[in-house]
Amino acid sequence: MKSARRLARELALQGLYQAQLSGNDEAAIEAHLAEAPGYERADRALLESLLRGVLRELPRLREVIEPLIDRRFEELSPVERSLLLLGAFELVHHLETPYRVIINEAVELAKSYGGTDGHKFVNGVLDKAAARLRAAEVQAAQNRPRPPAKSPKQPAGADRG
Protein backbone atom coordinates (compact mmCIF):
# COMPACT_ATOMS: atom_id res chain seq x y z
CA MET A 1 0.00 0.00 0.00
CA LYS A 2 1.32 3.42 -0.93
CA SER A 3 1.99 5.93 1.83
CA ALA A 4 -0.14 9.06 2.13
CA ARG A 5 2.85 11.17 1.07
CA ARG A 6 3.56 8.98 -1.98
CA LEU A 7 -0.10 9.27 -3.00
CA ALA A 8 0.08 13.06 -2.60
CA ARG A 9 3.14 13.25 -4.87
CA GLU A 10 1.51 10.95 -7.40
CA LEU A 11 -1.66 13.04 -7.48
CA ALA A 12 0.36 16.26 -7.72
CA LEU A 13 2.18 14.75 -10.70
CA GLN A 14 -1.15 13.92 -12.32
CA GLY A 15 -2.42 17.43 -11.65
CA LEU A 16 0.65 19.08 -13.17
CA TYR A 17 0.46 16.77 -16.15
CA GLN A 18 -3.18 17.77 -16.60
CA ALA A 19 -2.31 21.47 -16.31
CA GLN A 20 0.25 21.14 -19.11
CA LEU A 21 -1.98 19.23 -21.47
CA SER A 22 -5.37 20.80 -20.81
CA GLY A 23 -4.50 24.26 -19.55
CA ASN A 24 -7.13 23.83 -16.81
CA ASP A 25 -6.89 26.15 -13.84
CA GLU A 26 -6.02 25.08 -10.32
CA ALA A 27 -9.64 24.72 -9.16
CA ALA A 28 -10.58 22.46 -12.09
CA ILE A 29 -7.49 20.32 -11.55
CA GLU A 30 -8.16 19.95 -7.82
CA ALA A 31 -11.79 19.02 -8.49
CA HIS A 32 -10.66 16.35 -10.95
CA LEU A 33 -8.03 14.99 -8.53
CA ALA A 34 -10.66 14.75 -5.76
CA GLU A 35 -12.31 12.04 -7.85
CA ALA A 36 -9.09 10.08 -8.42
CA PRO A 37 -8.50 6.70 -6.77
CA GLY A 38 -6.51 7.07 -3.57
CA TYR A 39 -7.39 10.73 -3.04
CA GLU A 40 -9.02 10.02 0.32
CA ARG A 41 -5.81 8.35 1.59
CA ALA A 42 -3.42 11.03 0.29
CA ASP A 43 -1.70 13.61 2.50
CA ARG A 44 -3.89 16.48 1.32
CA ALA A 45 -1.77 19.19 2.93
CA LEU A 46 1.26 17.98 0.98
CA LEU A 47 -0.79 17.57 -2.20
CA GLU A 48 -2.09 21.14 -1.98
CA SER A 49 1.33 22.51 -1.14
CA LEU A 50 2.97 20.76 -4.09
CA LEU A 51 0.30 21.41 -6.70
CA ARG A 52 -0.45 25.01 -5.77
CA GLY A 53 3.17 25.82 -5.06
CA VAL A 54 4.48 24.55 -8.40
CA LEU A 55 1.71 26.33 -10.32
CA ARG A 56 2.40 29.55 -8.41
CA GLU A 57 6.19 29.41 -8.73
CA LEU A 58 6.55 27.95 -12.20
CA PRO A 59 8.84 30.68 -13.61
CA ARG A 60 11.21 30.54 -10.61
CA LEU A 61 11.32 26.74 -10.67
CA ARG A 62 12.15 26.77 -14.38
CA GLU A 63 15.07 29.07 -13.58
CA VAL A 64 16.34 26.43 -11.16
CA ILE A 65 15.96 23.55 -13.62
CA GLU A 66 16.91 25.01 -17.00
CA PRO A 67 20.66 25.44 -16.32
CA LEU A 68 20.83 21.78 -15.25
CA ILE A 69 19.39 20.19 -18.39
CA ASP A 70 20.93 19.52 -21.79
CA ARG A 71 17.91 20.54 -23.87
CA ARG A 72 15.17 23.12 -23.89
CA PHE A 73 12.63 22.81 -21.08
CA GLU A 74 9.81 22.53 -23.64
CA GLU A 75 11.50 19.47 -25.17
CA LEU A 76 11.14 17.45 -21.97
CA SER A 77 8.24 15.05 -21.73
CA PRO A 78 5.31 16.35 -19.67
CA VAL A 79 6.07 13.71 -17.01
CA GLU A 80 9.75 14.69 -16.75
CA ARG A 81 8.85 18.39 -16.63
CA SER A 82 6.31 17.79 -13.90
CA LEU A 83 8.64 15.64 -11.81
CA LEU A 84 11.51 18.11 -12.07
CA LEU A 85 9.20 20.97 -11.07
CA LEU A 86 7.82 18.95 -8.15
CA GLY A 87 11.29 17.93 -7.02
CA ALA A 88 12.67 21.46 -7.25
CA PHE A 89 9.70 22.87 -5.35
CA GLU A 90 10.03 20.29 -2.62
CA LEU A 91 13.80 20.85 -2.34
CA VAL A 92 13.20 24.58 -1.85
CA HIS A 93 10.10 24.56 0.35
CA HIS A 94 9.97 21.24 2.22
CA LEU A 95 13.19 21.32 4.16
CA GLU A 96 11.76 18.82 6.65
CA THR A 97 12.03 16.16 3.95
CA PRO A 98 15.57 14.89 3.32
CA TYR A 99 16.79 15.62 -0.19
CA ARG A 100 17.47 11.92 -0.81
CA VAL A 101 13.82 11.10 -0.08
CA ILE A 102 12.63 13.79 -2.51
CA ILE A 103 14.90 12.49 -5.26
CA ASN A 104 13.99 8.85 -4.58
CA GLU A 105 10.26 9.63 -4.71
CA ALA A 106 10.68 11.48 -8.03
CA VAL A 107 12.71 8.60 -9.47
CA GLU A 108 10.10 6.04 -8.40
CA LEU A 109 7.32 8.11 -9.99
CA ALA A 110 9.42 8.46 -13.16
CA LYS A 111 9.77 4.68 -13.29
CA SER A 112 5.99 4.30 -13.00
CA TYR A 113 4.86 7.11 -15.30
CA GLY A 114 7.82 8.17 -17.43
CA GLY A 115 9.67 6.88 -20.43
CA THR A 116 12.15 4.01 -20.40
CA ASP A 117 15.16 5.91 -19.07
CA GLY A 118 13.36 9.01 -17.80
CA HIS A 119 14.09 8.05 -14.21
CA LYS A 120 17.84 8.30 -14.84
CA PHE A 121 17.43 11.79 -16.27
CA VAL A 122 15.22 12.91 -13.37
CA ASN A 123 17.72 11.48 -10.89
CA GLY A 124 20.66 13.28 -12.46
CA VAL A 125 18.95 16.65 -12.70
CA LEU A 126 17.56 16.54 -9.16
CA ASP A 127 20.98 15.47 -7.82
CA LYS A 128 22.45 18.62 -9.37
CA ALA A 129 19.55 20.73 -8.06
CA ALA A 130 20.02 19.36 -4.54
CA ALA A 131 23.72 20.20 -4.66
CA ARG A 132 22.80 23.81 -5.41
CA LEU A 133 19.67 24.21 -3.31
CA ARG A 134 20.74 22.18 -0.27
CA ALA A 135 24.50 22.34 -0.47
CA ALA A 136 25.07 21.98 3.29
CA GLU A 137 22.77 18.95 3.57
CA VAL A 138 24.34 17.26 0.53
CA GLN A 139 27.85 17.97 1.82
CA ALA A 140 26.99 16.62 5.27
CA ALA A 141 25.60 13.43 3.73
CA GLN A 142 28.75 12.97 1.65
CA ASN A 143 30.99 13.49 4.67
CA ARG A 144 29.08 11.07 6.90
CA PRO A 145 31.12 7.93 7.54
CA ARG A 146 29.70 4.88 5.89
CA PRO A 147 29.59 1.51 7.62
CA PRO A 148 32.40 -0.78 6.45
CA ALA A 149 31.56 -3.03 3.57
CA LYS A 150 31.12 -6.65 4.47
CA SER A 151 33.94 -8.76 3.20
CA PRO A 152 32.91 -11.65 1.01
CA LYS A 153 32.99 -14.99 2.77
CA GLN A 154 35.59 -17.38 1.52
CA PRO A 155 34.45 -20.86 0.71
CA ALA A 156 35.46 -23.60 3.13
CA GLY A 157 38.95 -24.84 2.47
CA ALA A 158 39.96 -21.79 0.46
CA ASP A 159 43.60 -20.80 0.63
CA ARG A 160 43.95 -18.21 3.39
CA GLY A 161 47.30 -17.02 2.43
In this prediction, residue 161 carries a pLDDT of 45
Residue 142, pLDDT > 90, answer: no
- In a domain, residue 77? The reply is yes
Owning domain of residue 139: 4-143
* 46-64 pLDDT, tens digit each: 999 999 999 999 999 999 9
- In a domain, residue 31? The reply is yes
- In a domain, residue 149? The reply is no
Quote the CA–CA distance of 103 and 111 in Å, as a whole number: 12
* pLDDT over 70 percentage in the chain: 90
- In a domain, residue 76? The reply is yes
How many domains in the chain?
1
Q: What's the gap between Cα 116 and its chain centre?
A: 17
Residue 123, pLDDT > 60, answer: yes
- In a domain, residue 156? The reply is no
- In a domain, residue 160? The reply is no
**CATH number assigned to the domain comprising residue 52:** 1.10.940.10
**Whole-number Cα distances in Å, 84 to 48, 122, 124, 154:** 17, 7, 10, 45
- In a domain, residue 151? The reply is no
